Amino acid sequence: MKSADAYIREHWSTWSKRYAYPTLGKLTVPEIKPSHIYEVLRPIWVEKRKTANRVRGRIETIIAKNVDVDDSDFRNPAELTKQLRERLPKRPKRVVRHHPALPYAEAPQFMGDLSAAGGIAPSMLSFLIFTACRTNEVVEARWSEIDRNALCSSKPRRVSARSGRI
């Protein structure tokens, strides 16, 4: 049976190696216990919430892919059970911080300053503000998609390179 070290080298990105490898690297999959998972997650559970979730999920996936599917007694030690959740530090509720908005009364002055600035970036920001497009739609826009006479844009539906969705 391969050690977890072999799976880490094959499947994990750099940040996973940084957090999981020191604790799990020399263990075989059957040797990994919930206490090992706890040791991996404890230092990053509160401060690096998203990373901790990804690391735990990847560990769970790797373990699940390397056990006998017919083993009814098997329990994945990386599964986020109540027992593991209770042992890990409590996470504070996330505080949503919105970007500050430009006061409406200052908008005309800002738009004047923007048009006087010249250059591509100020022009793109003006277009973004007037059309309420998404930033990536403005950055990826082609001149053929913009009707300069009607002062409008025909936004095409592009497929996202990352997700493959429209």
Report, as an integer, the average pLDDT of 21-50.
90
pLDDT digits (tens, 9 = 90+) for 83-93: 888 889 898 88
Parse the chain into domains and list their residue ranges.
4-87, 104-153
Dist. CA 103–CA 27, nearest whole Å: 57
Structure tokens at 161: 């390179």
pLDDT at 166: 47
Architecture of domain 4-87: Orthogonal Bundle (1.10)
Dist. CA 120–CA 4, nearest whole Å: 50
Q: How confident is the model at residue 39 (pLDDT cuts 50, 70, 90)?
A: very high
pTM: 0.54
Report, as an integer, the average pLDDT of 19-37.
89
| Whether residue 82 has pLDDT greater than 90 | no
Tokens 């950055």 locate to 139
Residue 73: count other Cβ atoms within 10 Å of its Cβ: 5
